[in-house]
Structure 1
């Protein structure tokens, strides 16, 4: 999960890019980056950390030009090296900066082909760098020996080549010096991408972003989503060109965006996220009402923040009071995307504190958006009991997460998923609940689909193991498990720390010699 933004206008782009990234911060807390261009040169600032920590006044002043791309990232394989912060850049042809949200499922094959056939050297393990070099190679082939700026048909041909070669999920925003902003999605449209425009006395500005909320807060009028397999070029003259470059498309957006990832005030693929969460709570409430007629629940309490909307609707359906039982420390990051089990456990305690009066002597129904590792659920139930709850029931607005996500969400390895190879009763015992209620998958799909009947299919692979691209093999899933388990992540972090210590040691040696 990452956040993207691209902008082309008539005024300096740096502040608008910065502001939009702060709105998309929930999509990645590992690193942030912005690259701008004045038509001749490019200017880059990226580093590990939150947006507010990466960019200071001295960096913003240096980001010149009226177009640019921005990115917030969290790593899907645990590597937090600043070398993998985006955007990535290649200087040929023309100069291309690229930001990517998603995951290429044939990255190893592409890495081999880029080196052996395309004669391109890669400097990181990021599949986003792979995607950039594939695009650059295809664009070079499309423009041939021409020294003129790339024409729209050249861009379309290059993206067509990317779609033929790259498998998996990718929402992409790229900046081509002297040409404009390019945006495209994979043929299934798994990860979101939307664009809009804003008119002023200086002319019309255009923005592309992962979520519509980034357009809203900057005063851009949402136009529409980039379609699956579609490329859009906003050229430096402010003209918009678009084409479907995939021979076959099958719109199937990731349903987990609506469960957890996206902000509730966003609209993705013409589906209001907030409304889907109302329907999730409504359907789960009716299921509890039907299957559990003799209920002894006193109060419905959400696990802040994502589950609030569903919990409120469940309270209405069940005719039970809704209460805020936990106060959240907003300066702690989202535990779902934190590296390392020890850090996740510690962060739950730091992030939430119970209001004892809402728990003492009561039978409470806690509602969360989903249960992935179970770490958060287990600790929250402990907090409720310590605050005096008589009984603790737990409801998940999503079905059991039994399979890894291979399309750009850092779900843990299969063995670290609490629902993997466990029965409903075993999961309930593991998290320490008196009763556990999951949403049914059919009800989840209906809750999202009824907001846009034109979408007939969603990627629900983390719930049912059916991977929409059709190329995910058991061998690939084994490789994903090896890379994503916490032991592998700890090793990556230790290697990065050792590298940093070596770099510091080398700097110290140089300084001592100079002295």
Structure 2
């Protein structure tokens, strides 16, 4: 992606189904779980490089021994930082007594991060400061083991204000109005109630035996009921991991299945991650052994290591995030790899029309590194197109042998015209300086373009702001002196904010929105802006902003082609000699390529939850009243 955006987060949950001593005896080391967690998190490092955190719970340790451990980091390499600290503990234990080092009981009594239940998190902060307090997992502590709660997730809530007010109505005094706090405290409140319910149930049966009572409470906590009560008014996209102090755990997925969650289980482990390749690489299982947690369902792991998937909210129409398939998730997932290739292949007819089928004078390339797979699909589509063309010409009859030779030997011209310097880590730069940094991470390959003759077709996976095209890529390509430059987006035009986990929340950032503003101005239809503003304000003030996305009206007067043409004008640098055009994937073809991930609200404005409509209406109002830099939903 030429425009760097922050996005998503990654989760990892690992439950050892046997006592720690089993793994020490079988694998010859107490580090089995540590190594697996390190691999799970490193294989998802693409999902979060602002920070990382890990938590661990020991089962069945006696009172007086610490049973919850947690590390969080916002260092430049947070995963390495965390696991170096954990490994330091193990090195200290081995140095202290090499024989006891292989004794699970001694390790768990004397050292942290030696438990059977693990949770990891990788953070991409969509908003807010990159401080240790913002890093997951979050911990809610209590002297009752069953009331301890550890939570981490990949989520954004659209209705943080309402959730905050609900906590206040329950008698709480939340320390902050952010979705991480409200989610933690909401679940924590109903965990407390569930523990109390089990206490009231069993206390009459064991009036004098509190130890037995405690065990019964922990074994009978109804996690699904707790989630039903705590999550019933959540509006957003979420995959939430939780661990109870008793060792029970859960991973809950939103009713529309917006955020991803996959799991694998055998007789030794239960593991959950945001991406299938992380599980595949960590446990060498087959892809068909990895299951997806259903929308509105939670994977619940009991204190004894048994697991089940239970529905805790009524599922909505599944609208899994299509950006996962276009850009975010690793393409080593075979399904995602095929889908990205199809995205490149399906945009080919538009490209052929734009270049007037002049393949001899066209060079195809891509913006590394995430558009590479779509580029492979584009090239595959070109090959298929040429096969059809050869058949057509042969059927029509070829008069001369040299014509046949030329027809059969022709291949599309492909080059790596743009290179990216991966050493420049633009994702850690703040918004003010990010564009400047991004403009310096690319460089061009010279002497592969016929000056004033060739057209360059460059495929990107998506175009959000267009600033990198304008300030860097198009300027560099123009120095090669092509006749024409065609920028192709394998994703449709991004028109609306995301409020479910991606850093796309400001209307002014979208080059498609800027294009529509220009078109309205040029056609003297700016009154539509005021009309839409009035509708949005009235809906927000009178409590029906969740019912409809009124911002759609701004796009309705124009075709996709008109908007694309205006985008090309906006991003074309001054004094650019080459003609510039922009091609976008169609929404219909997006759904053909990714049929099981139809979440497309950033392209269509069709939000999967009511809160999404409220967010887009508020975002437009913020833009119109000069508060375009403000977030239109609760802080993360």
TM-score, scaled to structure 1: 0.85
Alpha-carbon distance in structure 2 between the residues aligned to 1:344 and 1:291:
29
Partner of 2:447: 357
Q: Secondary structure at the match of 1:399?
A: coil
Partner of 1:4: 11
The 1:487/1:246 distance shift into structure 2, 3 A limit, reads closer
Partner of 2:342: 279
Partner of 2:533: none
Q: Secondary structure at the match of 2:347?
A: helix
Contact 1:285 1:313 in 2 (8 A): no
1:316 deviates by 3.1
Contact 1:35 1:87 in 2 (8 A): yes
Alpha-carbon distance in structure 2 between the residues aligned to 1:397 and 1:263:
16
Contact 2:15 2:117 in 1 (8 A): yes
Q: Secondary structure at the match of 1:324?
A: coil
1:25 deviates by 1.2
1:63 deviates by 2.8
Partner of 1:38: 58
Q: Secondary structure at the match of 1:190?
A: coil
1:395-416, CA deviations, whole angstroms, 9 ceiling, x for partnerless residues? 0001110111011111140111
- Larger Rg over CA atoms: 2
1:59-112, CA deviations, whole angstroms, 9 ceiling, x for partnerless residues? 443533222111111112243232111111112453111111121111111122
From 285, 301, 306, the counterpart of 1:234: 301
1:429 deviates by 1.6
Which aligned pairs between 1:401-420 and structure 2 lie closer than 5 A?
A: 401-420=494-513
Q: Secondary structure at the match of 1:132?
A: helix
Partner of 2:82: 55
Gaps of 5+ in 2: 1-7, 24-30, 62-66, 90-111, 200-213, 384-411, 516-562, 573-578, 632-636
Contact 1:413 1:485 in 2 (8 A): no
From 138, 146, 162, the counterpart of 1:88: 138
Partner of 2:570: 430
From 241, 244, 253, the counterpart of 2:311: 244
Contact 1:311 1:322 in 2 (8 A): no
Q: Secondary structure at the match of 2:447?
A: helix
Partner of 1:348: 439
1:277-297, CA deviations, whole angstroms, 9 ceiling, x for partnerless residues? 011111101333356534365
Relative CO higher for 1 or 2, CA cutoff 8 Å, sep ≥ 6?
2
1:266 equivalent in alignment to 2:359: no
Alpha-carbon distance in structure 1 between the residues aligned to 2:433 and 2:69:
38
1:21 equivalent in alignment to 2:41: yes
1:177 deviates by 2.0
From 599, 605, 621, the counterpart of 1:465: 605
TM-score, scaled to structure 2: 0.69
1:114-168, CA deviations, whole angstroms, 9 ceiling, x for partnerless residues? 134141533x554123212211112222232524444466100011123312111
Alpha-carbon distance in structure 1 between the residues aligned to 2:474 and 2:220:
56
Which aligned pairs between 1:109-508 and structure 2 lie closer than 5 A?
A: 109-122=162-175, 124-145=176-197, 146=199, 147=214, 148-151=216-219, 154-198=222-266, 203-221=267-285, 222-266=289-333, 272-289=335-352, 293-295=356-358, 297-319=361-383, 320-333=412-425, 339-349=430-440, 351-359=441-449, 361=451, 362-378=454-470, 379-422=472-515, 423-432=563-572, 434-449=580-595, 455=596, 458-474=598-614, 477-478=617-618
Q: Secondary structure at the match of 1:232?
A: strand
The 1:339/1:310 distance shift into structure 2, 3 A limit, reads same
Contact 1:21 1:51 in 2 (8 A): no
Q: Which has the higher helix share?
A: 2
1:359 deviates by 4.2
The 1:98/1:485 distance shift into structure 2, 3 A limit, reads farther
Q: Secondary structure at the match of 1:182?
A: strand
Alpha-carbon distance in structure 1 between the residues aligned to 2:620 and 2:303:
40
Q: Which has the higher strand share?
A: 1
The 1:305/1:184 distance shift into structure 2, 3 A limit, reads same
Q: Secondary structure at the match of 1:171?
A: strand
Gaps of 5+ in 1: 450-454, 490-515
CA RMSD of aligned residues (A): 2.6
The 1:258/1:159 distance shift into structure 2, 3 A limit, reads same
Alpha-carbon distance in structure 1 between the residues aligned to 2:47 and 2:218:
32
1:241 deviates by 2.1
Partner of 2:390: none
Alpha-carbon distance in structure 2 between the residues aligned to 1:162 and 1:363:
57
Q: Secondary structure at the match of 2:500?
A: coil
The 1:192/1:303 distance shift into structure 2, 3 A limit, reads same
1:18 deviates by 2.2
